[in-house]
C-alpha cells in the first residue's frame, strides 16, 4: 500500500560514466581478472561483522544488542558447520581449485581464521566491558557460583542436586574407555581427577544436559526484597559441584568446552532408493561429523586444550578461548524474558492490507485484483487464511504447494492435512534437504502422506527452493486457479522477522504457468519454456544475463540503462562480469545485497557506475527484487533466488513478474527508493571489500527503510481499526498517488 510523502529518488540513469569510445587507445578491462572479485567467505565475515555492529550500536535497546550478539554466534556456528568444514575438506584432498578471486583453500582458511578470531575477540570484549555493566545497571546480574552469597549458594546447591545431578553421566577417558563421541555443538566439561595426592591424573567427560537452560534464572526475593534479576551459568554451577559426581577423588580441574562439527549432508539422491530414509541416516551421522572448531573457556589450561585438540584432530588455529559463555546463543533466556520489555524494541503488530480485511472472502478479493503484501509490515495471516479457507471450502478441488521451511507447529501443514482428510487432492513438494530443517520436514512429509496427500521429495539433483501455492476452485462461472507466489518460506514465525513479499493472483497468464511448473516438477515432462516466469535451473540464468545485456546495449546506443537488484547474496561470476560490462557501457547499477557480495564496486573503468549497499536492521532482509529499466518499459520481478551458482543451477527457483500497475508503482516508486536512500542501517561496500556506514547529511534526519515501513504499517493499522469501529469496512481496490520522481 502507498506511503505518505515517499522519499524522492531517481530510478532513471544520471551522472553515469560512459564506456570509452571504440577508437580510444585504452585496452578494454579483463572482467575475469582475479583482482575484480571478493572472496565469498571473507565477504560473509564482513556481513557478520555488520551484525556485530548492531550489537555495538548504543542507540539500540540493551537486550536488542544482546540479541544481536546471539545472532553473531548462531551465524558463526552455521558458517563453521558448512563453509569452513567444506574448505577443510578441500585442503585435506589437496585440491588446487581456486575461486574467481584466485585464493586457494589454504589461503581462504587462514584468512577466515584471522578474521573470525578478531571478530570473536571484539564480541566478547563488548559483552564483558559494556553490556554486562549495563545489565547490572538495570538490575540484571550474571552470576558465577563461586560469587554467590550463602543464601543463593544454598539454593543453587539444591537446584543442582534436584534438577541437574540426576541427568549427569561421567564418562571416563583412559586405555579401556575411549574418548566419547560428542554431538555437534554439545556443551561438555573435561574433568581431571586423582585418586590420591601425587597419583596419576585421570580424565572424564561430563556432558552439560540439553534439557536444562544454559542460563538459569534464580528466584527473586519477596516483594520489597532483592530487586535484582539473578542469572547463573549452568556450566558454572556444574563446575562448582562437580566433586559430587566423583566421590573419593580429588578434582584437579574442570573446564567447559564446545565442539563444532561438519554438518553438511552427503546424499546421492540418484543412488538413494529411499531418499527419506537416506536423509534420516545421514542426519544421525552428521551429528558426529569431523570436528572443525573447538571453543573453551579463557582460563582453560594449555594441557587441557592440547588434549582436546589432539583428540579432535584440530590445530591451534581451530581453538577459540572465550571470555564468557561458550556461545552467546545461551543468552536466549535473558533476551526472551517478557519482564524486560523496556529493554527491547517495542512489540510490532503488522497491519492488515485494506484489500484483505478480517473475515473477507479471500477468493472474492483475489478475483477483483492482484494483491501484494510486504511482510512483516503487513500481516502474514492472509496467507494462512487462504490455505485454511481452501481446506474447508467445498468448491476447492485441489491444492499444490512447495514446502522448503515451515514452523514446528505449522498451521499451514495442518490445513493441508485437513484438506487431504476432506478428500481434496493435495500435492506437496517437500524439500527434505532444507539445511537444518531436514528432521522437521521429514516429520511433516510423513504426516501428509498418512493423511492421503501426494508428497514429492523434489527433483533428482536439485533442491526445490521456490515458494508457490496453487489452488484449483470451481467458481460459479468456471474452474479457476488461485496462486500465491512469494520470496519467503511458508513459515508464519519467520514471517514476523524476515522481510518478504507475497503475491496473490488469479491472472491466467501467471496461474497457467505456475501449473506448468508444478507439472514439470511432479511429472515426467520436460520444461516447456515459459513467457512470464523465470525458472531455475532451466532459464533463469540465461534470461537474467539477457536482461543485463539489454541494458548494456541500450546504454551503448545512447539510451538510458538502469539496473536495481535487491538480493541476499551476489556470487555468480558470469553475472558479475556482465554487470561490469554494463557499468562500462554506462548503465547505472544499484545493488542492495544483505550478505555476500563478490563484486567490487567503484573501480575506475570497471565498476564506477555500480553502487552496493547492505542493510542490516531489526528484520532480516530476505526479499529479492530485480528491476531493469528496459528503455522506459521497466521489467520488475520478485524472486526466491539470489544470484549464486547454487540458485541458478542446483535449485528450483521462480522469479515472477509484477505487472499490475498499482503494485508496480508501489515497488518502483516507494519500496526501492526507501532502500536506496537509507542512511540509518545501510552500509556501502568499498572496492577493497570493507563497508562504510552511511550517514545523513548535516542537519538531516537519518532515514531508515525498515523504520519507515514500520511507521507506515502502524498508520495503516490505525486507519483499519477506525474503519472497523465505524462500520465502514468494505473491499476496495488499492489506490496510489500519481507517480513521483525526483
Active site members: 465
State CA 666 to chain mean position distance: 25
Residues 311, 291: Cα–Cα separation, whole Å:
10
Ordered DSSP codes for 273-288:
SSHHHHHHHHHHHHTT
Residues 98, 59: Cα–Cα separation, whole Å:
42
- Angle formed at CA 270 by CA 266 and CA 271, multiple of 5 degrees: 75
To 10 degrees, what angle do helices 438-450 and 411-421 make? 20
Q: Which residues contact 186 (CB under 8 A, 6 or more apart)?
A: 207, 208, 210, 258, 259
Residues 120, 320: Cα–Cα separation, whole Å:
8
Ordered DSSP codes for 3-25:
PSSPPP---S--SPPPPPPTT--
Using DSSP bridges, classify how beta strands 651-657 and 534-536 pair: parallel, antiparallel or unpaired. antiparallel
Alpha helices in 249-369 (DSSP H): 275-286, 302-312, 332-335, 362-368
Find out whether 514 and 468 touch, Cβ atoms under 8 Å.
yes
The strand ranges marked E within 287-413 are: 291-297, 319-322, 371-375, 396-403
Q: Which residue in 242, 257, 106 sits closest to 189, CA to CA?
A: 257
Residues 719, 354: Cα–Cα separation, whole Å:
9
As given in the structure block, the three cell numbers for residue 125 are 570484549
Report the 10 Å Cβ neighbour count for 32.
Answer: 13
Which DSSP helix (H) or strand (E) runs through 142?
Answer: strand 140-143
As given in the structure block, the three cell numbers for residue 731 are 473491499
Find out whether 419 and 399 touch, Cβ atoms under 8 Å.
yes
Residues 58, 129: Cα–Cα separation, whole Å:
13
Using DSSP bridges, classify how beta strands 187-194 and 250-261 pair: parallel, antiparallel or unpaired. antiparallel
DSSP β-bridge partners for residue 611: 590
Ordered DSSP codes for 628-666:
E-GGGS-EEEEES--BSHHHHHSEEEEEEE--SHHHHHH
Amino acid at each position: 500500500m502507498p506511503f505518505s510523502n515517499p522519499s524522492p529518488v531517481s530510478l532513471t540513469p544520471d551522472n553515469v560514466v560512459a564506456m570509452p569510445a571504440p577508437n580510444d587507445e585504452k585496452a578494454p578491462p579483463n572482467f575475469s581478472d582475479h583482482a575484480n572479485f571478493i572472496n565469498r567467505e571473507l565477504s560473509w565475515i564482513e556481513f557478520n561483522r555488520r551484525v556485530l555492529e548492531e550489537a555495538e550500536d548504543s542507540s539500540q535497546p540493551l537486550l536488542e544488542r544482546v540479541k544481536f550478539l546471539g545472532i553473531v554466534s548462531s551465524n558463526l556456528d552455521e558458517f563453521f558447520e558448512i563453509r569452513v568444514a567444506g574448505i577443510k575438506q578441500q585442503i585435506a584432498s589437496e585440491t588446487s581449485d581456486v575461486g574467481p578471486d584466485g585464493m586457494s583453500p589454504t589461503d581462504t582458511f587462514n584468512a577466515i581464521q584471522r578474521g573470525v578470531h578478531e571478530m570473536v575477540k571484539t564480541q566478547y570484549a563488548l559483552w564483558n566491558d559494556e553490556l554486562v555493566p549495563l545489565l547490572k545497571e538495570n538490575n540484571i546480574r550474571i552470576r558465577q557460583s563461586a560469587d554467590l552469597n550463602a543464601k543463593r549458594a544454598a539454593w543453587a546447591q539444591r537446584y543442582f542436586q534436584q534438577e541437574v545431578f540426576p541427568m549427569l553421566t561421567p564418562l571416563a577417558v583412559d586405555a579401556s574407555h575411549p574418548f566419547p563421541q560428542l554431538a555437534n555443538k554439545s556443551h561438555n566439561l573435561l574433568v581431571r581427577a586423582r585418586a590420591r595426592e601425587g597419583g596419576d591424573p585421570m580424565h572424564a567427560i561430563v556432558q552439560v544436559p540439553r534439557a536444562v537452560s544454559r542460563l538459569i534464572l534464580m528466584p527473586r526475593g519477596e516483594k520489597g526484597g532483592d530487586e535484582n534479576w539473578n542469572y547463573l551459568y549452568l556450566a558454572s554451577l556444574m563446575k562448582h559441584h562437580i566433586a559430587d559426581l566423583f566421590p573419593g577423588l580429588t578434582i584437579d580441574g574442570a573446564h567447559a568446552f564446545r565442539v563444532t562439527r561438519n554438518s553438511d549432508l552427503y546424499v546421492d539422491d540418484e543412488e538413494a532408493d529411499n531418499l527419506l530414509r537416506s536423509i534420516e541416516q545421514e542426519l544421525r551421522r552428521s551429528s558426529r561429523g569431523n570436528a572443525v572448531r573447538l571453543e573453551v573457556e579463557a582460563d582453560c589450561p594449555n594441557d587441557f586444550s592440547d588434549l582436546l585438540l589432539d583428540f579432535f584432530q584440530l590445530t591451534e588455529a581451530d581453538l577459540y578461548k572465550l571470555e564468557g559463555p561458550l556461545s552467546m546463543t545461551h543468552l536466549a533466556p535473558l533476551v526472551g524474558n517478557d519482564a524486560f520489555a523496556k529493554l527491547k524494541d517495542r512489540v510490532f503488530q503488522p497491519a492488515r492490507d485494506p484489500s484483505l480485511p478480517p473475515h473477507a472472502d479471500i477468493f472474492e478479493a483475489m478475483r477483483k485484483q492482484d494483491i501484494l503484501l510486504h511482510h512483516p509490515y503487513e500481516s502474514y495471516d492472509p496467507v494462512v487464511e487462504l490455505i485454511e479457507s481452501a481446506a474447508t471450502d467445498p468448491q476447492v478441488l485441489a491444492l499444490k504447494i512447495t514446502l522448503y521451511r515451515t514452523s514446528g507447529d505449522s498451521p499451514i501443514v495442518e490445513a493441508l492435512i485437513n484438506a487431504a482428510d476432506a478428500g481434496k487432492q493435495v500435492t506437496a513438494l517437500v524439500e527434505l534437504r532444507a539445511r537444518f530443517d531436514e528432521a522437521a520436514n521429514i516429520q511433516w512429509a510423513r504426516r501428509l502422506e498418512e493423511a492421503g496427500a501426494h508428497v514429492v521429495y523434489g527433483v533428482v539433483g536439485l533442491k526445490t527452493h521456490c515458494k508457490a501455492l496453487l489452488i484449483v476452485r470451481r467458481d460459479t462461472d468456471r474452474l479457476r486457479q488461485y496462486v500465491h507466489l512469494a520470496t519467503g518460506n511458508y513459515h508464519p514465525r519467520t514471517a514476523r522477522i524476515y522481510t518478504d513479499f507475497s503475491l496473490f493472483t488469479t491472472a491466467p497468464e501467471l496461474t497457467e504457468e505456475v501449473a506448468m511448473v508444478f507439472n514439470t516438477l511432479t511429472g515426467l515432462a520436460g520444461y516447456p519454456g515459459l513467457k512470464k516466469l523465470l525458472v531455475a535451473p532451466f532459464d533463469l540464468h540465461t534470461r537474467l544475463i539477457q536482461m543485463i545485456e539489454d541494458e548494456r546495449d541500450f546504454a551503448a546506443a545512447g539510451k538510458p540503462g538502469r539496473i536495481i537488484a535487491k538480493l541476499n547474496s551476489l556470487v555468480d561470476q558470469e553475472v558479475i562480469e556482465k554487470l561490469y560490462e554494463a557499468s562500462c557501457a554506462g548503465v547505472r547499477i544499484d545493488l542492495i545485497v544483505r550478505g555476500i557480495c563478490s563484486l567490487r564496486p567503484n573501480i575506475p573503468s570497471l565498476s564506477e557506475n555500480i553502487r552496493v549497499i547492505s542493510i542490516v536492521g531489526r528484520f532480516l532482509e530476505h526479499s529479492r527484487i530485480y528491476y531493469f529499466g528496459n528503455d522506459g518499459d521497466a521489467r520488475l520481478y520478485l524472486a526466491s533466488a539470489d544470484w549464486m551458482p547454487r540458485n541458478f543451477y542446483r535449485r528450483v527457483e521462480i522469479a515472477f513478474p509484477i505487472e499490475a500497475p498499482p503494485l508496480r508503482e508501489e515497488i518502483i516508486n516507494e519500496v526501492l527508493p526507501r532502500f536506496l536512500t537509507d542512511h540509518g542501517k545501510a552500509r556501502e561496500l568499498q572496492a577493497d571489500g570493507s563497508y562504510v556506514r552511511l550517514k545523513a547529511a548535516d542537519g538531516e534526519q537519518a532515514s531508515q527503510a525498515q523504520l519507515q515501513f514500520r511507521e507506515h504499517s502502524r498508520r495503516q493499522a490505525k486507519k483499519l481499526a477506525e474503519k472497523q469501529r465505524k462500520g465502514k469496512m468494505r473491499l476496495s481496490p488499492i489506490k496510489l498517488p500519481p507517480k513521483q520522481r525526483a
